[in-house]
Structure 1
Amino acid sequence: MEKKKELRKRIALLKTLHKSTTTHQSAEILAALEAHPVFRTASIILLYHSLPDEVHTHDFIRKWSTKKKILLPVVIGNDLELRVYTSPADLAIGAYDIEEPTGALFTDYATIDLVIVPGVAFDRDGNRLGRGKGYYDRLLPRIPSAYKVGICFPFQIVEEVPAEPFDIRMDEIITQQ
Protein backbone atom coordinates (compact mmCIF):
# COMPACT_ATOMS: atom_id res chain seq x y z
CA MET A 1 0.00 0.00 0.00
CA GLU A 2 2.83 2.40 0.86
CA LYS A 3 4.46 1.75 -2.53
CA LYS A 4 1.19 2.58 -4.28
CA LYS A 5 0.83 5.82 -2.29
CA GLU A 6 4.38 6.90 -3.19
CA LEU A 7 3.82 6.05 -6.86
CA ARG A 8 0.61 8.13 -6.91
CA LYS A 9 2.52 11.11 -5.45
CA ARG A 10 5.33 10.77 -8.00
CA ILE A 11 2.90 10.62 -10.94
CA ALA A 12 0.93 13.62 -9.58
CA LEU A 13 4.13 15.66 -9.65
CA LEU A 14 4.90 14.53 -13.20
CA LYS A 15 1.37 15.49 -14.30
CA THR A 16 1.95 19.08 -13.20
CA LEU A 17 5.22 19.19 -15.14
CA HIS A 18 3.64 17.80 -18.34
CA LYS A 19 0.33 19.71 -18.22
CA SER A 20 1.08 21.84 -21.30
CA THR A 21 1.55 18.84 -23.61
CA THR A 22 -1.43 16.68 -22.62
CA THR A 23 -3.85 17.95 -25.31
CA HIS A 24 -1.44 17.14 -28.14
CA GLN A 25 -0.47 13.82 -26.53
CA SER A 26 -4.14 12.90 -26.00
CA ALA A 27 -4.85 13.36 -29.72
CA GLU A 28 -1.95 11.05 -30.65
CA ILE A 29 -2.92 8.40 -28.08
CA LEU A 30 -6.55 8.38 -29.26
CA ALA A 31 -5.46 8.23 -32.92
CA ALA A 32 -3.46 5.09 -32.06
CA LEU A 33 -6.53 3.67 -30.31
CA GLU A 34 -8.72 4.40 -33.37
CA ALA A 35 -6.27 2.54 -35.60
CA HIS A 36 -6.25 -0.52 -33.32
CA PRO A 37 -7.92 -3.60 -34.89
CA VAL A 38 -9.94 -4.34 -31.72
CA PHE A 39 -11.31 -0.78 -31.67
CA ARG A 40 -12.16 -0.91 -35.37
CA THR A 41 -14.24 -4.09 -34.98
CA ALA A 42 -15.77 -3.28 -31.58
CA SER A 43 -19.39 -2.23 -31.54
CA ILE A 44 -19.89 -1.78 -27.77
CA ILE A 45 -17.14 0.13 -25.96
CA LEU A 46 -16.82 1.08 -22.32
CA LEU A 47 -14.92 4.36 -22.12
CA TYR A 48 -14.52 6.99 -19.39
CA HIS A 49 -15.33 10.71 -19.33
CA SER A 50 -11.90 12.14 -18.54
CA LEU A 51 -10.82 14.26 -15.62
CA PRO A 52 -8.46 17.17 -16.46
CA ASP A 53 -5.34 15.09 -15.66
CA GLU A 54 -6.31 12.08 -17.82
CA VAL A 55 -6.12 11.39 -21.56
CA HIS A 56 -8.83 13.74 -22.86
CA THR A 57 -11.76 11.63 -24.06
CA HIS A 58 -14.66 14.12 -24.34
CA ASP A 59 -14.37 14.89 -28.09
CA PHE A 60 -13.49 11.26 -28.81
CA ILE A 61 -16.69 10.07 -27.11
CA ARG A 62 -18.82 12.55 -29.09
CA LYS A 63 -17.11 11.59 -32.36
CA TRP A 64 -17.63 7.83 -31.97
CA SER A 65 -21.03 7.78 -30.24
CA THR A 66 -22.82 7.95 -33.60
CA LYS A 67 -20.95 4.91 -34.95
CA LYS A 68 -20.58 2.68 -31.88
CA LYS A 69 -22.45 2.15 -28.63
CA ILE A 70 -20.43 4.05 -26.03
CA LEU A 71 -20.89 3.19 -22.36
CA LEU A 72 -19.67 5.38 -19.54
CA PRO A 73 -19.39 4.53 -15.85
CA VAL A 74 -21.50 6.22 -13.20
CA VAL A 75 -20.38 6.15 -9.56
CA ILE A 76 -23.10 4.71 -7.31
CA GLY A 77 -21.82 4.33 -3.75
CA ASN A 78 -18.76 2.07 -3.93
CA ASP A 79 -19.54 0.71 -7.38
CA LEU A 80 -19.65 1.73 -11.00
CA GLU A 81 -22.78 1.14 -13.02
CA LEU A 82 -22.74 1.55 -16.77
CA ARG A 83 -24.97 3.83 -18.77
CA VAL A 84 -25.30 4.40 -22.49
CA TYR A 85 -23.89 7.72 -23.69
CA THR A 86 -26.33 9.54 -25.97
CA SER A 87 -25.16 13.19 -26.15
CA PRO A 88 -23.42 15.91 -24.16
CA ALA A 89 -26.87 17.21 -23.20
CA ASP A 90 -27.54 13.98 -21.30
CA LEU A 91 -24.54 14.36 -19.00
CA ALA A 92 -24.88 15.47 -15.37
CA ILE A 93 -22.20 16.22 -12.79
CA GLY A 94 -21.80 13.18 -10.59
CA ALA A 95 -19.34 11.95 -8.00
CA TYR A 96 -15.86 13.53 -8.06
CA ASP A 97 -17.22 16.26 -10.41
CA ILE A 98 -17.16 13.83 -13.34
CA GLU A 99 -19.79 14.31 -16.01
CA GLU A 100 -21.84 11.11 -16.08
CA PRO A 101 -24.53 9.96 -18.52
CA THR A 102 -28.16 9.95 -17.43
CA GLY A 103 -29.16 7.51 -20.20
CA ALA A 104 -30.30 3.90 -20.00
CA LEU A 105 -28.70 1.51 -17.52
CA PHE A 106 -26.55 -1.11 -19.27
CA THR A 107 -26.12 -4.54 -17.65
CA ASP A 108 -25.37 -6.88 -20.57
CA TYR A 109 -21.66 -7.04 -19.70
CA ALA A 110 -20.99 -10.07 -21.91
CA THR A 111 -21.66 -7.97 -25.04
CA ILE A 112 -18.96 -5.38 -24.29
CA ASP A 113 -16.17 -5.75 -26.87
CA LEU A 114 -13.64 -3.27 -25.56
CA VAL A 115 -12.94 -1.57 -22.23
CA ILE A 116 -10.76 1.55 -22.21
CA VAL A 117 -9.49 2.24 -18.73
CA PRO A 118 -7.76 5.27 -17.19
CA GLY A 119 -5.09 4.91 -14.57
CA VAL A 120 -2.57 6.79 -12.51
CA ALA A 121 0.22 4.50 -13.74
CA PHE A 122 0.74 1.33 -15.77
CA ASP A 123 3.65 -1.04 -16.24
CA ARG A 124 4.68 -3.03 -19.32
CA ASP A 125 3.03 -6.17 -17.91
CA GLY A 126 -0.38 -4.48 -18.02
CA ASN A 127 -0.65 -3.83 -14.29
CA ARG A 128 -2.63 -0.70 -13.46
CA LEU A 129 -2.53 1.68 -10.53
CA GLY A 130 -5.84 3.47 -10.05
CA ARG A 131 -6.73 6.32 -7.74
CA GLY A 132 -7.15 3.94 -4.82
CA LYS A 133 -10.92 3.58 -4.53
CA GLY A 134 -11.11 0.17 -6.26
CA TYR A 135 -13.99 1.01 -8.62
CA TYR A 136 -12.44 -0.69 -11.65
CA ASP A 137 -11.18 -3.58 -9.49
CA ARG A 138 -14.83 -4.33 -8.68
CA LEU A 139 -16.19 -3.62 -12.20
CA LEU A 140 -13.70 -5.40 -14.48
CA PRO A 141 -14.28 -8.96 -13.16
CA ARG A 142 -17.88 -8.61 -14.42
CA ILE A 143 -16.56 -8.00 -17.97
CA PRO A 144 -14.16 -10.94 -18.44
CA SER A 145 -14.50 -11.39 -22.21
CA ALA A 146 -13.83 -7.76 -23.23
CA TYR A 147 -10.39 -6.67 -24.44
CA LYS A 148 -8.98 -4.27 -21.84
CA VAL A 149 -6.83 -1.32 -22.91
CA GLY A 150 -5.23 1.17 -20.55
CA ILE A 151 -4.55 4.58 -22.10
CA CYS A 152 -2.09 7.00 -20.55
CA PHE A 153 0.59 9.60 -21.11
CA PRO A 154 4.18 8.33 -21.55
CA PHE A 155 5.24 9.55 -18.09
CA GLN A 156 2.60 7.27 -16.56
CA ILE A 157 4.44 4.14 -17.73
CA VAL A 158 6.55 2.94 -14.81
CA GLU A 159 8.94 0.05 -14.23
CA GLU A 160 6.59 -1.79 -11.89
CA VAL A 161 3.11 -1.24 -10.50
CA PRO A 162 2.67 -3.13 -7.21
CA ALA A 163 -0.09 -5.60 -8.06
CA GLU A 164 -2.51 -7.37 -5.71
CA PRO A 165 -4.08 -10.75 -6.54
CA PHE A 166 -7.46 -9.06 -7.20
CA ASP A 167 -6.02 -6.50 -9.65
CA ILE A 168 -7.16 -7.02 -13.23
CA ARG A 169 -4.36 -6.77 -15.75
CA MET A 170 -4.83 -4.82 -18.98
CA ASP A 171 -4.45 -6.72 -22.26
CA GLU A 172 -2.57 -3.75 -23.69
CA ILE A 173 -1.40 -0.24 -22.84
CA ILE A 174 -1.59 2.51 -25.46
CA THR A 175 0.43 5.67 -24.99
CA GLN A 176 2.09 8.23 -27.20
CA GLN A 177 4.82 6.62 -29.31
Structure 2
Amino acid sequence: MENKDIFQQKNELRRKIRKLKQELSDEGRKEKSDRIFAAIREHPVFQRASVVMMYWSLPDEVQTHKYVELFSKSKKILLPVVKDDELELREFRGREFMQSDNSLGIGEPDGEPFLNMDEIDMIIVPGVAFDRNNNRMGRGKAYYDRLLKNVKAYKIGVCFDFQFLDEIPCDENDVKMDKVLRA
Protein backbone atom coordinates (compact mmCIF):
# COMPACT_ATOMS: atom_id res chain seq x y z
CA MET A 1 0.00 0.00 0.00
CA GLU A 2 1.22 3.49 -0.76
CA ASN A 3 2.66 5.49 2.13
CA LYS A 4 1.10 8.83 1.13
CA ASP A 5 -2.38 7.54 1.84
CA ILE A 6 -1.68 5.42 4.91
CA PHE A 7 -3.26 7.85 7.39
CA GLN A 8 -6.49 8.04 5.35
CA GLN A 9 -6.51 4.30 4.69
CA LYS A 10 -6.13 3.54 8.39
CA ASN A 11 -8.95 5.90 9.36
CA GLU A 12 -11.29 4.41 6.75
CA LEU A 13 -10.46 0.89 7.93
CA ARG A 14 -11.08 1.93 11.56
CA ARG A 15 -14.56 3.16 10.57
CA LYS A 16 -15.36 -0.12 8.78
CA ILE A 17 -14.18 -2.26 11.69
CA ARG A 18 -16.10 -0.12 14.20
CA LYS A 19 -19.33 -0.86 12.27
CA LEU A 20 -18.58 -4.58 12.18
CA LYS A 21 -17.87 -4.62 15.92
CA GLN A 22 -21.31 -3.11 16.56
CA GLU A 23 -22.90 -6.03 14.72
CA LEU A 24 -21.26 -8.63 16.99
CA SER A 25 -23.55 -9.72 19.82
CA ASP A 26 -22.38 -9.82 23.43
CA GLU A 27 -22.73 -13.61 23.35
CA GLY A 28 -20.72 -13.81 20.13
CA ARG A 29 -18.00 -11.60 21.61
CA LYS A 30 -17.82 -13.78 24.74
CA GLU A 31 -17.73 -17.06 22.78
CA LYS A 32 -15.01 -15.81 20.41
CA SER A 33 -12.98 -14.40 23.31
CA ASP A 34 -13.16 -17.75 25.10
CA ARG A 35 -11.87 -19.54 21.98
CA ILE A 36 -8.97 -17.10 21.63
CA PHE A 37 -7.96 -17.52 25.26
CA ALA A 38 -8.23 -21.31 25.02
CA ALA A 39 -5.59 -21.09 22.27
CA ILE A 40 -3.44 -18.74 24.37
CA ARG A 41 -3.51 -21.18 27.30
CA GLU A 42 -2.19 -23.92 25.00
CA HIS A 43 0.61 -21.77 23.57
CA PRO A 44 4.05 -22.95 24.78
CA VAL A 45 5.32 -19.40 25.37
CA PHE A 46 2.33 -18.70 27.62
CA GLN A 47 2.75 -21.98 29.49
CA ARG A 48 6.38 -21.11 30.30
CA ALA A 49 5.72 -17.41 30.99
CA SER A 50 6.04 -15.91 34.46
CA VAL A 51 5.23 -12.30 33.51
CA VAL A 52 2.50 -11.52 30.96
CA MET A 53 1.30 -8.11 29.86
CA MET A 54 -2.39 -8.06 28.97
CA TYR A 55 -5.01 -5.31 28.68
CA TRP A 56 -8.26 -4.54 30.47
CA SER A 57 -10.69 -4.82 27.56
CA LEU A 58 -13.13 -2.20 26.37
CA PRO A 59 -16.65 -3.48 25.59
CA ASP A 60 -15.94 -3.87 21.85
CA GLU A 61 -12.62 -5.75 22.19
CA VAL A 62 -11.65 -9.38 22.73
CA GLN A 63 -12.77 -9.74 26.34
CA THR A 64 -9.98 -10.14 28.90
CA HIS A 65 -11.38 -9.39 32.38
CA LYS A 66 -11.98 -12.96 33.54
CA TYR A 67 -8.66 -14.09 32.05
CA VAL A 68 -6.69 -11.30 33.71
CA GLU A 69 -8.17 -12.45 37.02
CA LEU A 70 -7.67 -16.16 36.30
CA PHE A 71 -4.09 -15.86 35.02
CA SER A 72 -3.08 -13.56 37.89
CA LYS A 73 -3.41 -16.54 40.25
CA SER A 74 -0.36 -18.21 38.68
CA LYS A 75 1.49 -15.44 36.77
CA LYS A 76 2.40 -11.81 37.25
CA ILE A 77 -0.08 -9.94 35.04
CA LEU A 78 0.75 -6.41 33.93
CA LEU A 79 -1.79 -3.95 32.57
CA PRO A 80 -1.15 -0.65 30.79
CA VAL A 81 -1.93 2.73 32.30
CA VAL A 82 -2.09 5.81 30.05
CA LYS A 83 0.31 8.50 31.30
CA ASP A 84 0.35 11.53 29.01
CA ASP A 85 1.35 10.06 25.61
CA GLU A 86 2.89 6.84 26.94
CA LEU A 87 1.80 3.54 28.44
CA GLU A 88 3.06 2.75 31.91
CA LEU A 89 2.74 -0.82 33.19
CA ARG A 90 1.41 -1.84 36.59
CA GLU A 91 0.74 -5.20 38.17
CA PHE A 92 -2.87 -6.37 38.40
CA ARG A 93 -3.66 -7.09 42.07
CA GLY A 94 -7.44 -7.56 41.86
CA ARG A 95 -10.54 -5.73 40.63
CA GLU A 96 -10.71 -3.78 43.87
CA PHE A 97 -7.48 -2.03 42.85
CA MET A 98 -8.76 -1.01 39.41
CA GLN A 99 -9.84 2.52 38.57
CA SER A 100 -11.30 4.03 35.40
CA ASP A 101 -11.24 7.74 36.09
CA ASN A 102 -9.04 8.45 33.05
CA SER A 103 -10.20 10.31 29.94
CA LEU A 104 -10.48 7.09 27.92
CA GLY A 105 -12.64 5.23 30.47
CA ILE A 106 -10.23 2.29 30.50
CA GLY A 107 -9.82 0.25 33.67
CA GLU A 108 -6.32 0.71 35.07
CA PRO A 109 -4.60 -0.78 38.12
CA ASP A 110 -3.28 1.49 40.84
CA GLY A 111 0.13 0.93 42.38
CA GLU A 112 3.72 1.45 41.39
CA PRO A 113 4.99 1.35 37.80
CA PHE A 114 6.58 -1.89 36.59
CA LEU A 115 9.91 -0.90 35.07
CA ASN A 116 11.85 -4.05 34.16
CA MET A 117 10.65 -4.66 30.61
CA ASP A 118 13.15 -7.51 30.17
CA GLU A 119 11.15 -9.61 32.67
CA ILE A 120 8.08 -9.66 30.42
CA ASP A 121 7.74 -13.03 28.68
CA MET A 122 4.59 -12.44 26.62
CA ILE A 123 2.36 -9.55 25.62
CA ILE A 124 -1.27 -10.02 24.58
CA VAL A 125 -2.08 -7.06 22.35
CA PRO A 126 -5.45 -5.68 21.21
CA GLY A 127 -5.84 -3.99 17.87
CA VAL A 128 -8.36 -2.65 15.40
CA ALA A 129 -6.99 -4.86 12.60
CA PHE A 130 -4.23 -7.37 11.90
CA ASP A 131 -3.02 -9.05 8.72
CA ARG A 132 -1.45 -12.32 7.52
CA ASN A 133 2.02 -10.74 7.85
CA ASN A 134 1.39 -10.11 11.59
CA ASN A 135 1.04 -6.35 11.10
CA ARG A 136 -1.13 -4.56 13.64
CA MET A 137 -3.20 -1.41 13.38
CA GLY A 138 -4.38 0.22 16.60
CA ARG A 139 -6.83 2.98 17.40
CA GLY A 140 -4.51 5.70 16.12
CA LYS A 141 -2.75 7.08 19.19
CA ALA A 142 0.35 4.83 18.80
CA TYR A 143 0.48 4.06 22.55
CA TYR A 144 1.22 0.38 21.95
CA ASP A 145 3.70 1.00 19.13
CA ARG A 146 5.79 3.29 21.34
CA LEU A 147 5.81 0.72 24.15
CA LEU A 148 6.25 -2.44 22.08
CA LYS A 149 9.22 -1.24 20.05
CA ASN A 150 11.31 -1.34 23.24
CA VAL A 151 10.14 -4.73 24.57
CA LYS A 152 11.59 -8.04 23.39
CA ALA A 153 8.75 -10.21 24.74
CA TYR A 154 6.73 -12.53 22.50
CA LYS A 155 3.77 -10.53 21.16
CA ILE A 156 0.40 -12.11 20.39
CA GLY A 157 -2.25 -9.97 18.71
CA VAL A 158 -5.85 -10.94 19.43
CA CYS A 159 -8.89 -10.08 17.32
CA PHE A 160 -12.20 -11.24 15.93
CA ASP A 161 -12.22 -12.89 12.48
CA PHE A 162 -13.51 -9.77 10.72
CA GLN A 163 -10.52 -7.80 12.06
CA PHE A 164 -8.04 -10.14 10.35
CA LEU A 165 -7.32 -9.08 6.76
CA ASP A 166 -4.96 -10.09 3.97
CA GLU A 167 -3.18 -6.75 4.18
CA ILE A 168 -3.55 -3.61 6.28
CA PRO A 169 -1.96 -0.19 5.83
CA CYS A 170 1.21 0.08 7.89
CA ASP A 171 4.43 2.06 8.12
CA GLU A 172 7.84 1.79 9.77
CA ASN A 173 6.44 2.85 13.18
CA ASP A 174 3.96 -0.04 13.38
CA VAL A 175 5.27 -2.95 15.48
CA LYS A 176 4.66 -6.46 14.12
CA MET A 177 3.29 -9.25 16.25
CA ASP A 178 4.95 -12.65 16.56
CA LYS A 179 1.54 -14.31 16.17
CA VAL A 180 -2.09 -13.29 15.71
CA LEU A 181 -4.92 -15.34 17.23
CA ARG A 182 -8.49 -14.84 16.06
CA ALA A 183 -11.94 -16.35 16.37
TM-score by length of 2: 0.93
Structure 1 runs of 4+ with >4 Å offset: none
Matched, 1:161 2:168: yes
SS at match of 1:81: strand
Report the Cα offset of residue 104 of structure 1. 2.4
TM-score by length of 1: 0.96
Contact 1:75 1:95 in 2 (8 A): no
- Unmatched 5+ stretches in structure 2: 1-6
Instruction: Spell out, residue by residue over 1:56-102, the C-alpha distance to the aligned partner (whole angstroms, 9 max, x if none).
Output: 00000000101000000000011000001111100011341011000
Q: Distance in 2 between matches of 1:164 and 1:172?
A: 18
Report the Cα offset of residue 103 of structure 1. 2.2
Kindly report which structure 2 residues correspond to 1:165-176, keeping only aligned pairs within 5 A, or say none: 165-176=172-183
SS at match of 1:12: helix
Matched, 1:115 2:123: yes
SS at match of 2:38: helix
The number of equivalent residue pairs is 175
- Unmatched 5+ stretches in structure 1: none
Matched, 1:7 2:10: no
Report the Cα offset of residue 163 of structure 1. 1.0
Matched, 1:92 2:99: yes
Contact 1:71 1:84 in 2 (8 A): yes
Q: Distance in 1 between matches of 2:12 and 2:109?
A: 33
Report the Cα offset of residue 159 of structure 1. 1.8
RMSD of aligned Cα (Å): 0.9
Q: Distance in 1 between matches of 2:79 and 2:103?
A: 13
User: What does residue 146 of structure 1 align with?
Assistant: 153
